[in-house]
Amino acid sequence: MVPKPWGHEVIWAHTGQYVGKVLHIKAGHSLSIQYHNRKDETIHLLSGQMIYRVKDASGELRDMQLRTGESFRNEPLTVHQMEAVTDCQVLEASTPHLDDVVRLSDRYGREGTSAP
């Protein structure tokens, strides 16, 4: 278990081809507004409800409601953010680039950092 300011994550698989994680995001908390240069990821909401923000073609962040059972894929360079409305469990499957996080905005003061 890796503690995070928004909750914690559990990495359950890490190979040369992929990483599997479960993110536990506390209600009212959010991850950074971020993108990845190389990392391609798919998230699947296992439980809870979240606001998923993605930058659209016009450059604006667009809010989408994700509910249990719904998924979203982020290709590299996709600006995105997850914000938990209720406690959420998120399954994330991605390419193995754990250190590829560019934070544009972060309520916990971690802008610009890149860390697993």
Q: Where are the domains of the chain?
A: 2-95
Which percentage of the chain shows pLDDT scores above 90? 84
Indicate the average pLDDT of the chain: 93
Are the C-beta atoms of residues 22 and 47 closer than 8 Å to each other? no
> How is the beta sheet containing 102-105 ordered, strand by strand?
61-67, 49-55, 80-84, 33-35, 102-105
> What's the CA gap between 60 and 26, in Å, rounded?
26
> Would you place residue 112 in the very low, low, confident or very high pLDDT band (cuts 50, 70, 90)?
low
Q: Which pTM was predicted?
A: 0.89
**36-93 pLDDT per residue, tens:** 999 999 999 999 999 999 998 888 999 999 999 999 999 999 999 999 999 999 999 9
pLDDT at residue number 116: 44
- Please tell me the distance from the alpha carbon of residue 1 to that of residue 106, in angstroms, as a whole number: 21
Mean pLDDT computed over 7-21 = 96
CATH dotted code for 2-95: 2.60.120.10
